Structure 1
Amino acid sequence: MIRFPILVAGPAYFGILDPLSGRVGVLDAGAGDYYGISWSEREIFLLARNGGRGETIRVFDDLGRLTASVEIGRHIDGHQILFHGQSLFVTATRENALIRLNPETGAQSLWNWT
């Protein structure tokens, strides 16, 4: 049986599901559609797509508090994210590329393989 919380990203909110009680604690709502989730040793990263207003990486600490929101641009059609080696990689399906993002500075580079 699963005994640890499960992170849930959906069209209305980002939350933590307690599998023992079945309750969901909402950590964030209203930032758009929530897609990819990744994490480091200290933080949780969440991709939020907010239509024409742009897409952001929402950063939460280990207590579930929102600590930062990093703009990554408009209309990239981001879906999944992965934290690796101090960088965050975001799929940019509209660009057919990956965006490499430094979550501390917001610096970005586009990796397009076509």
Structure 2
Amino acid sequence: MNKYLIAALAACLSASVWAENPADVELLSAQKAYQAALKGQTDSQTRTTTLQSRLQEAQARQERAQAEVTRLQAELNQADAERQQADSSLQAAGSRLDAAWAAARGTR
């Protein structure tokens, strides 16, 4: 690890010594600016790709949730129709029971 640090320091010092004239200084500055811009572009592209992926995943979840809502709505409608049918059957059975009760009580 120390030899890497020493190598990095040596590279920086040699670059500083190498940049003795204004053209060399400008070249180093331009290289650093280019590297910074390239890193910015890479970071931005990575972020954009990540956000696109997250958006696609969220849209897929939304589609699955909408399908679930549609399915549940259909099940609820079916259950409501069955409940109404059961209510009607109960009302008819109650009326029949009342009529049978009245007939049985009236004959005694």
Q: TM-score, normalised by structure 2?
A: 0.16
Bigger relative contact order (CA 8 A; separation at least 6): 1
- Structure possessing the higher radius of gyration over alpha carbons: 2
Higher helix share: 2
